[in-house]
Amino acid sequence: MAKKKTNSAETVLTVKEAKAEIDKLSEEIRRHQYLYYVKNQAKISDLEFDRLFRRLQDLEEKFPQFKDPASPTLVVGSDLDKDFEKFQHKLPVLSLINTYNEEELLDWVNKTDPEGIYSVEWKIDGASIVLYYENGMLQNGVTRGSGGIGDDVTDNVKTIRNIPLRLPESVTVHLRGEVFMTFKDFDEYNEISSGKYANPRNLSAGSIKQKNSAETAKRPLRIFTYDAVFPEISKKFKTHQEILSKLEQLTFPVPPNTVFVTGSKIAKTIKDFKKKKDKIGFPTDGLVIKLNDVSKRDALGYTSHSPRWARAFKFDAVMKESKIVDITYAVGRTGKITPRAEIEPVSLAGTTVTFATLHNQDYIDELGIGIGAVVRVAKRGEIIPAVEEVVTPGKEIFKIPDRCPSCKTKTIKKENLVDLFCPNPDCPDRVKNGIIFYCQRKQMDIEGLGEKQVEFLYDHDYVKSVADLYDLKDYKEKLMEEEGFGEKSVTIILGGIEQSKQKDFRFVLPSVGLPEIGHKVTELLIEQGIDSMDQILSISKDETKLEALLEIPGIGPSTVEAFRENFADKKILKLLERLKKSGLKMKADPVKVADRQPFAGQSWCVTGSFENFQPRDKAMDLIAYYGGRKVSSVSSKTTHLLAGPGAGSKLEKANELGIEIYDETRFLELLKSLQIDPKI
241 lies in the site for ligand IVH, by CB under 6 A? no
Sequence-distant (≥ 6) Cβ neighbours of residue 37 within 8 angstroms: 161, 162, 222, 253
Among 19, 43, 123, 580, the one annotated catalytic = 123
Q: In terms of CB distance, is 119 or 416 closer to ligand IVH?
A: 119
3-state secondary structure of 52: helix
Please report how close the Cβ of residue 380 comes to ligand IVH at its closest, in angstroms.
14
Q: CB under 6 A: which stretch of 88-96, 190-198, 421-429, 659-667 binds ligand IVH? A: 88-96
Of 90, 89, 97, 88, nearest to 302 by C-alpha is 97
Element (H, E) at 59: helix 46-62
Q: Which CB atom, from 286 or from 518, has the smaller least distance to ligand IVH? A: 286
Phi, psi of 372 (to 5 degrees): 90, -10
Q: Closest CB to ligand IVH among 122 and 437?
A: 122
Q: How far is the CB of 204 from ligand IVH (least distance, A)?
A: 11
Residue from 11, 57, 95, 262 touching ligand IVH (CB under 6 A): that is 95
How far is 353 from 364, CA to CA, in rounded Å?
Answer: 19
| Residues contacting residue 50 through CB under 8 Å, at least 6 positions apart | none
In the complex, the smallest distance separating the C-beta of residue 194 from ligand IVH, rounded to whole angstroms, is: 29
Q: Is 547 annotated as a binding residue?
A: no
Instruction: Please identify, among the stretches 92-100, 243-251, 365-373, 548-556, the one whose residues bind ligand IVH according to the rule CB under 6 A.
Output: 92-100
Shortest distance, CB of residue 528 to ligand IVH, whole angstroms? 42
Separation of alpha carbons 666 and 128, rounded Å: 47
Any binding-site annotation on 422? yes
CB 172 within 8 A of CB 133: yes
DSSP 259: E
Site string for ligand IVH, 96-135 (x = CB under 6 A): x------------------------x-xx---x-------
Task: Look up 268 and say whether it is catalytic.
Answer: no
Residues of span 608-637 touching ligand IVH by CB under 6 A: none
Residue 239 interacting with ligand IVH (CB under 6 A): no
Nearest residue (beta carbon) to ligand IVH: 128
Task: Output the smallest distance, CB 299 to ligand IVH, in A.
Answer: 16
Nearest to 479 by CA among 448, 437, 502, 439: 448
Pairing mode of beta strands 603-607, 640-643: parallel
Asked if 539 and 545 count as a contact pair (C-beta separation under 8 A), the reply is yes
Give the nearer residue to ligand IVH in terms of CB position, either 74 or 288.
288
Ligand-binding site membership of 667 (annotated): no
The one among 153, 163, 205, 288 contacting ligand IVH by CB under 6 A: 288
Measure the CA–CA gap between 22 and 221, rounded to whole angstroms.
26
Give the separation between CA 150 and CA 138, rounded to whole angstroms.
Answer: 17
Q: Residue 128: which residues within 8 A CB-CB, separation 6 or more? A: 93, 143, 144, 176, 177, 178, 179
223 versus 659: smaller Cβ distance to ligand IVH? 223
CA distance linking residue 374 with residue 146, whole number of Å = 20
User: Phi and psi for 175 in degrees, rounded to 5?
Assistant: -135, 160
Q: Which of 141, 200, 255, 385 binds ligand IVH (CB under 6 A)?
A: 255
| Residue numbers annotated as active site | 123
Q: Which residues are annotated as a binding site for NAD(+)?
A: 46-50, 95-96, 121, 144, 178, 290, 314
Q: Which residues are annotated as a binding site?
A: 46-50, 95-96, 121, 144, 178, 290, 314, 404, 407, 422, 427
Residues that bind ligand IVH (CB under 6 A): 94-96, 121, 123-124, 128, 144, 178, 226-227, 255, 288, 307, 310, 312
Residue list for the binding site for Zn(2+): 404, 407, 422, 427
